[in-house]
Amino acid sequence: MISAEVRPGRAAALARVPAFWVVAALLVAGGVRMTQIAGRFATVYPVATVTAVLLFALLAVPFWLVVSELDFLEREPIELLVLAFAWGGLVATSVSIPASTAGDNLIAKLGSPELAAGWGAALAGPAVEEIAKTLGVVVIVLIARPQINSVLDGVVYGAMVGLGFQIAEDIVFAVGAVALAGQGDQIQPVIATFLLRGFVSGVWSHTLFGALAGAGIGYLVVRRDRGLARRIGVALLALLGAWASHALWNSPLLIDGLGNGALALLAVLVLKGLPPLLLILWLVRHAHDREADYYVGHLATLRDSELITESEMKVLGSGSARASARRLAGESAGHAGRHAVRRLQRAQARLAVELSRSSSGETLETCEQIRIQRKVLRGLGHPEAIAGPRSWRHTASTIITTVVAIAVLWVALSALGGA
């Protein structure tokens, strides 16, 4: 069944929406505040500040690529992704700094300084930060409602808000570590923070929590087939889940429970970080499959094997199958084949979205692009973008990549004193 939840609409004319100007003003205010903080850092620790900005900006690149690639079939407009990132890095951070401090103080005042020392970071920070970040997805809805067509859109925007927050927070923490070290404008504390927050705890950080809360907003907005109370309940549950994941991560639980050493630290990271990671991966998979069924269903109505074959329809709905088809084309027709399959898949995805919008003018142009790529592939002797069998080289490459990732994590943990 084709679900209405993934039906896209036209791009909103941003400037005509009242919320846009309010959000613009908030971004400017947040930008001024964060520039003041960065300016203070740069005055006292110029080398460390520049190093931190460069390192964490580099770290943002793979995260950005992965997040923006999550929704292959119906890609989010770049301006909205930038807006989400900026909300996280400028507005959510500016608001969270005084609010988290106040929350921490209230825990000390109404509870005790001991409670604040142990649990302040787990209770105050997540409560404030998850709300401030989730509002970033809400403003995307307010500004460009037609662009939220599936739960997956909420996941992507939520993750992007979280990424912006994560990068800004990492830079502040890195330069804070330089100040705390009291050794002047040195970059060693920046490197240590980069290893700790970038590699060791980078995967299960704000990007993940933001994605979970964003999924709730996506559900609230698109699942009109469900009752309002249920949709609000799911959105609140997702926000609570983001808060709980964040609180568990920041909590002092298991700090002394598994002994010393890199292995013990790795076990703690996995125990505290894996549940939300698995939950989000399951959610993304579920939302992705649902969206893929909807769009591939539109392509199926064409019954034109020149535009898409039965086998290509199976491939288009799965990220791993699309990658496998590109690999197979690369093996049989070289770089040109891989490139042509990539272009064919992008054009097919675009056609699916256009068909769902019934925009016939754009459809003609996209059909022409597909035919051009089909002709290129025929010329290369690889006419169909089908997934190949799982090759031993791919399996070996996956194993080696996993081993290298664990080795990097191990080295980072050891360098930070875990071993």
Partner 1 sequence: MARITGRELKNLVGTFGVVATLAGLAFGLPAVDRAFSAERSLRAGVPVDVGAGVTVVPPSGATLDVTGTRPGDTMGSALFRLGAVQYRIAVRPFDGDLETAASRLRQRITGTPGYQVTGSQLAVGTVDGLDGLQGGYTAPGRGGRYAVFVGDGLTIEVTISGNDLDLGRTLPQIEASTRTLRVDGSGR
Q: H-type helices in 358-391, by residue range?
A: 360-379
Confirm or reject binding of residue 9 to partner 1 (CB under 8 A).
no
CB of 92 to partner 1, least distance (A): 9
Confirm or reject binding of residue 19 to partner 1 (CB under 8 A).
yes
User: Which amino acid is located at 362 in the chain?
Assistant: E
List Cβ neighbours of 361 (8 Å cut-off, separation of 6 or more). Answer: none
List Cβ neighbours of 412 (8 Å cut-off, separation of 6 or more). Answer: 195, 196, 199, 200
Confirm or reject binding of residue 142 to partner 1 (CB under 8 A).
yes
Instruction: Please select the residue that binds partner 1; options are 2, 117, 396, 403, rule is CB under 8 A.
Output: 117
Instruction: Please select the residue that binds partner 1; options are 32, 102, 270, 407, rule is CB under 8 A.
Output: 102
Binding region for partner 1 (CB under 8 A) out of 174-182, 282-290, 315-323, 369-377: 174-182
With contact defined as beta carbons under 8 Å apart, do 37 and 172 qualify?
yes
Which of 42, 35, 132, 127 minimizes the C-alpha distance to 88?
Answer: 132
Beta carbon nearer to partner 1, 62 or 113: 113
Confirm or reject binding of residue 372 to partner 1 (CB under 8 A).
no
Instruction: Give helix then strand counts, H and E, for the chain.
Output: 14, 0
- Residue count, binding to partner 1 (CB under 8 A): 47
Which residues within the stretch 119-138 sit at the binding site for partner 1 (CB under 8 A)? 120, 128, 131-132, 135, 138
Confirm or reject binding of residue 236 to partner 1 (CB under 8 A).
no
How far is the C-alpha of 347 from the C-alpha of 368, rounded, in Å?
9
Binding region for partner 1 (CB under 8 A) out of 58-66, 75-83, 117-125, 274-282: 117-125
Secondary structure letter of residue 390 according to DSSP: P
Q: What does 258-294 look like in DSSP terms, one character per residue?
A: T-SSHHHHHHHHHHHHHHHHHHHHHHHHHHHHHHHHH
How far is the C-alpha of 209 from the C-alpha of 203, rounded, in Å?
10
Beta carbon nearer to partner 1, 132 or 307: 132
Beta carbon nearer to partner 1, 94 or 318: 94
Instruction: Please select the residue that binds partner 1; options are 3, 101, 201, 311, rule is CB under 8 A.
Output: 101
Binding region for partner 1 (CB under 8 A) out of 89-97, 240-248, 361-369, 376-384: 89-97
Residue given tokens 């964040």 in the structure block: 246
With contact defined as beta carbons under 8 Å apart, do 131 and 159 qualify?
no
Confirm or reject binding of residue 103 to partner 1 (CB under 8 A).
yes
Q: Which residues bind partner 1 (CB under 8 A)?
A: 17-19, 22-23, 26, 43-45, 91, 94-96, 98-99, 101-103, 105-106, 108-110, 112-114, 116-118, 120, 128, 131-132, 135, 138-139, 141-142, 179-184, 252, 255-256
